[in-house]
């Protein structure tokens, strides 16, 4: 326990009853947390409460893509053609979106990346951009079978955006949002056939990042994301506070 407290102090972390946030007077470098894992591993689920605990913004490449797509920017139109096919968006498009976002004032003290980087080349480009930051990479491990069940059952309201799951969180009435009564739909990239392509792409192109970050001292943390959400988040909290080798 003394080791844990000591490292939390080094990282500028204040913790009380499992709740902690960054102490700006202790840590001067930007604090960057990278959440990795295949589609459906829970990156978005855990990124939001983690961002609240650490008082830094949660930056999701998926959210950035959807924002650019919804207002039909040139970058958004390019990204959509790849996303709809279950393919990775080219680096130049991703990097333009991400670097524009982290240049905003709210990212001064750090941020949480969800869904980026996805390739070693992206990681290298990021490293050049944030060479002075304190970086922690968390890899959420889940089997492909469980991922297919999790993602292929997701539904979203067309009007208000509320999310549901056919098995774990179904709407009161099939195909209808409980809140605004509008129609629920399944995103193209959540359909099973597209999802399997996404997993193939992940295994072939993104998985090498584990080896890349694994070679860097005290950067990578591995977490079993098949546990309950509460258990996984508890592990995530400790992962950002304790070096992997302690």
User: What's the pTM?
Assistant: 0.73
- Architecture of the 2-143+207-239 domain: 3-Layer(aba) Sandwich (3.40)
Return the active site residues.
Answer: 43, 118, 154, 187, 198
Give the whole-angstrom CA distance, residue 46 versus residue 58. Answer: 10
Backbone angles phi, psi at 49, to 5 degrees: -65, -30
The domain limits of the chain are 2-143+207-239
pLDDT tens track, the chain, 246 positions: 333 333 333 334 444 444 444 444 345 688 999 999 988 898 988 999 999 999 999 998 878 888 888 998 888 888 888 878 877 788 888 898 898 899 999 999 999 998 889 889 999 999 998 888 899 999 999 988 889 888 889 999 989 989 899 988 999 999 999 999 999 999 888 888 888 888 888 888 888 999 999 999 889 999 999 998 899 999 999 999 855 444
Beta-strand ranges (E) seen in 37-180 are: 58-60, 110-114, 134-141, 154-157, 163-165
């Amino acid at each position: 326990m003394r080791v844990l407290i000591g490292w939390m102090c080094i990282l500028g972390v204040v913790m009380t009853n499992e709740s902690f946030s960054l102490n700006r007077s202790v840590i001067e470098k930007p604090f960057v947390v990278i959440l990795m894992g295949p589609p459906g591993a829970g990156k978005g689920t855990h990124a939001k409460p983690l961002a609240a605990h650490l008082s830094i913004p949660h930056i999701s490449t998926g959210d950035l893509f959807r924002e650019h797509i919804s207002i039909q920017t040139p970058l958004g139109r390019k990204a959509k053609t790849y996303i709809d096919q279950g393919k990775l968006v080219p680096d130049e498009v991703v990097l333009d979106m991400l670097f524009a976002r982290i240049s905003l004032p709210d990212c001064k003290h750090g941020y949480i990346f969800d869904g980026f980087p996805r390739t070693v080349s992206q990681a290298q480009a990021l490293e050049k951009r944030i060479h002075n930051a304190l970086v922690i990479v968390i890899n959420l491990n889940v089997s492909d079978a469980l991922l297919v069940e999790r993602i292929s059952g997701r539904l979203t309201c067309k009007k208000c955006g509320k999310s549901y799951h056919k098995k774990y969180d179904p709407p009161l009435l099939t195909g209808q949002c409980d809140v605004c009564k509008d129609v629920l739909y399944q995103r193209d990239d959540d359909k099973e056939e597209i999802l399997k392509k996404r997993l193939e792409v992940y295994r072939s192109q993104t998985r090498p990042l584990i080896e890349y970050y694994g070679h860097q001292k005290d950067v990578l943390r591995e977490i079993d994301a098949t546990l309950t959400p509460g258990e996984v988040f508890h592990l995530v909290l400790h992962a950002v506070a304790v070096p992997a080798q302690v």
